[in-house]
Amino acid sequence: MEKYAWKATIVDGCLEEYVRRHNEIWPEMVEVLKEAGIRNYTIWNTGNEMFGYYECEKGIEYAARIQATSPIVKKWDEYMKDILIMEMDPVTGAQPLLKKVFEMD
């Protein structure tokens, strides 16, 4: 199982709204993530920094392709852009893949 991690920044004063939106995540968004093979998805925060982690049972490339072509994901990204600052990779158009430096099983 491949693992994926991302980072982002919350707009000042918007953490509570970010949490609310995720507590009310759209069922169709959850379905897209499941279709993409995403499991064990967790998001953490400290201050205005966000860190997300998930496992890709069908591989990172498959998960990225499903998300990139989903109108639901595009709608979610639009919904979140007023409170979340995401740095995107100019080559892939996706969130930059964080480099793993340590893992303990």
Could you tell me if residue 7 is inside a domain?
yes
The pLDDT assigned to 30 comes to 98
Tens-place pLDDT, residues 19-63: 999 999 999 999 999 999 999 999 999 999 999 999 999 999 999
Could you tell me if residue 37 is inside a domain?
yes
Indicate the number of domains in the chain.
1
Contact 11, 85 (CB under 8 A): yes
Which residue in the list 3, 22, 65, 75 is annotated as catalytic? 22
Rounded distance between C-alpha atoms, residue 102 and residue 73, angstroms: 30
Which parts of the chain fold into alpha helices (H)? 15-23, 27-35, 60-68, 71-80
Domain range for 73: 2-85
Phi, psi of 102 (to 5 degrees): -160, 145
Could you tell me if residue 93 is inside a domain?
no
pTM of the model: 0.88
Could you tell me if residue 24 is inside a domain?
yes
Could you tell me if residue 31 is inside a domain?
yes
Is 41 labeled as catalytic in the residue annotation?
no
Could you tell me if residue 102 is inside a domain?
no
Rounded distance between C-alpha atoms, residue 78 and residue 81, angstroms: 5
